[in-house]
A and B are shown apart, each in its own frame.
Chain A
Amino acid sequence: GDSVTQMEGPVTLSEEAFLTINCTYTATGYPSLFWYVQYPGEGLQLLLKATKADDKGSNKGFEATYRKETTSFHLEKGSVQVSDSAVYFCALLKRPGGGADGLTFGKGTHLIIQP
């Protein structure tokens, strides 16, 4: 079945450091890919998405590129802030009509940014 694998945390960085959170997926067909973020005490929020190969999703300084050849969707940010501390989830969604409309999530990566 479909699955998403992301790097385990916690990931601890200093403010202004470069961030990469790795995400790879296994799925038949051509899924859409997402990053969701969960800030402390809050619900899941969509951070960015990419719906086809080579698409780049971006939001709030975060970026991720849909790499079909490596089945990856790594999350990057050039300079992290303390306010970026949260749990980040990588997820996939099969194409409408391709079966499931429910998201398949990774286990989440807890990011801690120290001042």
Chain B
Amino acid sequence: DTGVSQNPRHKITKRGQNVTFRCDPISEHNRLYWYRQTLGQGPEFLTYFQNEAQLEKSRLLSDRFSAERPKGSFSTLEIQRTEQGDSAMYLCASSLEVHEQYFGPGTRLTVT
């Protein structure tokens, strides 16, 4: 069990640029989640996949955000035209059973 991995671990970008993050879940897990965490706050749910189907999106996920999980394995989260308010830690989690979500180390995004 290698755990959930996320790449890159850190990303610094200029306002207006596009960024893409990758999440590799635990291999047999069919559920995959994205969360965002800002300093001093708990993680906030963004979106959820079951296999390749995106089943739920939070209202926090603006039109500039898009997530995919093309083959039901890894997932990508893209942010277009980044804004300073997008600076946060982006967390990925996966699960086989709905009550046990395993989190990755996160990708820290800084928008300058």
- Cα separation A49 to B101 with both chains bound (whole Å): 11
Q: Is B48 close to A, CB under 8 A?
A: yes
Write the chain A residue with the least CB distance to B41.
A107
- Cα separation A36 to B93 with both chains bound (whole Å): 13
Given A43-B104, A101-B55: A107 in contact with B99 (beta carbons within 8 A): no
**Which A residues lie at the B interface, using CB under 8 A?**
4, 32, 34, 36, 42-46, 49, 51, 89, 91, 93, 96, 100-108
Given A89-B42, A101-B31: A46 in contact with B100 (beta carbons within 8 A): yes
In the complex, the 6 A-B pairs of residues with the closest C-beta atoms, listed nearest first:
A102-B45, A105-B42, A44-B103, A43-B105, A43-B103, A105-B43
Distance to closest chain B CB from A26 (angstroms): 15
Q: Is the CB of A106 within 8 A of B48?
A: no
Distance to closest chain B CB from A10 (angstroms): 11
In-complex Cβ contact of B102 among A42, A46, A51, A102 (8 A): A46
- Cα separation A45 to B103 with both chains bound (whole Å): 7
Q: Which residues of A contact B105 (CB under 8 A)?
A: 42-43
